[in-house]
Amino acid sequence: MLTKVSKLSRRIYLSECILNKRKELVDLGMNYGLLNKKTIQCSQDLDKLINLYMQGSKIREYKFCYIL
């Protein structure tokens, strides 16, 4: 049976996936180095998840904060 997933629940799911993938990326980077194939693939997967999340966002302007 297929159910319709709300936009909010999809965003929550994507944000959880992003957090998990970010943790995985840090672990891979620490264990294998930043130029390893596994690390690079994980980074690309994270980019795709972030893009999906941002496509669902209605925010058109982004403010960047810099910590000095």
* Prediction pTM value: 0.74
Provide the 10 A C-beta neighbour count for residue 58. 5
**What are the C-alpha distances in Å from 49 to residues 42, 44, 55, 68?**
11, 9, 10, 29
> pLDDT of 32-63, one tens digit each?
999 999 999 999 999 999 999 998 875 544 44
Domains of the chain: 11-54 (4.10.280.10)
pLDDT of 4 above 70: no
Question: Which pLDDT score, from 0 to 100, does residue 6 have?
Answer: 80
